């Protein structure tokens, strides 16, 4: 992977971790918060997309089909992620999702796109997935220990652990689906990452508009409670993915998808330091493993 592509992925990982932490605070708001984030994204990025289209043109058919399918996949991803954050710990849901997603993406990028990453890069990808899973299991172990010690509500910890794992795995499947689809659009459809991402955001607005209109009073309450978080998500969520799509134009999908999981290290640190989630030693060991895998990708 080139240094420039790797830099794009690192910046994207930082932005991705930041918006996920903001989303965690509003996890109980569900689809209404997602819609507000899409509104904020449109306000930020639509003017830039118009300029981009004016400069580079647009393959309309690829744009409409690509953005429509991607919007459906991204709404499913955001919904599962929000539900997971509400039902489980961020340090379980997020690592499980980010571990499953790139693993499936690497496999299908090789099968579907015919990519042949070098052995060192493939090993680095597997190391990253192993580190991510180790971080996720740290939350599970901590919950089980708390439950066995009689801390908290009986049955609550195992229930949150199971919910976190299930939603994490489902979210990972959705990540693999939208990553492979979006890579095919920006690499083969003649659509720039910026314009494509704005099209996806507009699709999300349309898909979720009926829910937002039916629940206007609740929407106002969510905005008043979480407007700062909605703005953060609206700004950083598209930015992180635009950078990833750009990197996918410069490097194989099977390398970019695992490398972006650097964000797991940042979220796991926050889960420990901010949310006081358990078992920090295993989290940090997993984080070091992830960093080692990212380093292997950088030199491959």
Contact criterion met (CB below 8 Å) for 282 and 137: yes
* pLDDT the model gives residue 208: 86
Domain ranges in the chain are 3-299
Q: How large is the average pLDDT for residues 273-299?
A: 75
Question: What does the alpha-carbon distance between residue 176 and residue 154 come to, in Å, rounded to a whole number?
Answer: 35
Percent of the chain whose predicted confidence (pLDDT) is above 70: 88
Q: Is 216 exposed, middle or buried (0-12, 13-18, 19+ CB in 10 A)?
A: exposed
Q: The tokens 């992830």 sit on which residue?
A: 290
220 vs 112, higher pLDDT: 220
Percent of the chain whose predicted confidence (pLDDT) is above 90: 25
* pLDDT the model gives residue 261: 74
Question: What does the alpha-carbon distance between residue 46 and residue 61 come to, in Å, rounded to a whole number?
Answer: 19
- Average pLDDT along the chain: 82
Contact criterion met (CB below 8 Å) for 230 and 36: yes
Vertex 291, ends 6 and 109: CA angle to 5°?
A: 55
Coil/strand/helix, residue 122: helix
**Share of the chain residues as helix, strand and coil, in percent rounded to the nearest 5:** 85, 0, 15
Per DSSP, the residues of 235-298 read HHHHHHHHHHHHHHHHS-HHHHHHHTTHHHHHHHHHHHHTT--S-HHHHHHHHHHHHHHHHHHH
């Amino acid at each position: 992977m080139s240094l420039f592509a790797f830099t794009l992925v690192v910046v994207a990982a930082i932005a991705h971790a930041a918006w996920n932490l903001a989303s965690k605070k509003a996890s109980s708001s569900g689809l209404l918060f997602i819609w507000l984030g899409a509104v904020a994204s449109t306000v930020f990025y639509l003017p830039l997309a118009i300029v981009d289209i004016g400069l580079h043109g647009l393959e309309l058919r690829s744009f409409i089909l690509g953005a429509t399918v991607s919007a459906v996949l991204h709404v499913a991803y955001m919904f599962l992620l929000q539900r997971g954050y509400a039902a489980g710990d961020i340090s379980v849901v997020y690592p499980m999702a980010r571990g499953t997603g790139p693993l499936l993406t690497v496999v299908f990028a090789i099968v579907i796109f015919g990519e042949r990453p070098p052995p060192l890069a493939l090993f680095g990808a597997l190391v990253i997935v192993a580190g991510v899973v180790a971080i996720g299991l740290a939350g599970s172990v901590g919950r089980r220990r708390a439950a066995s010690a009689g801390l908290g509500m009986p049955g609550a910890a195992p229930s949150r652990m199971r919910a976190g794992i299930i939603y994490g795995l489902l979210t990972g499947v959705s990540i693999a689906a939208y990553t492979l689809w979006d890579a095919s659009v920006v690499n083969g459809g003649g659509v720039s990452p910026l314009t494509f991402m704005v099209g996806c955001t507009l699709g999300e607005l349309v898909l979720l508009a009926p829910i937002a209109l039916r629940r206007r009073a609740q929407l106002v309450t969510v905005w008043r409670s979480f407007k700062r978080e909605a703005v953060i998500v609206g700004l950083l969520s598209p930015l992180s993915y635009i950078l990833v799509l750009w990197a996918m134009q410069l490097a194989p999908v099977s390398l970019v998808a695992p490398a972006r999981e650097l964000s797991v290290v940042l979220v796991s640190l926050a889960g420990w330091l901010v949310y006081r989630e358990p078992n920090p030693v295993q989290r940090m060991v997993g984080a070091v493993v992830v960093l080692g895998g990212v380093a292997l990708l950088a030199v491959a």
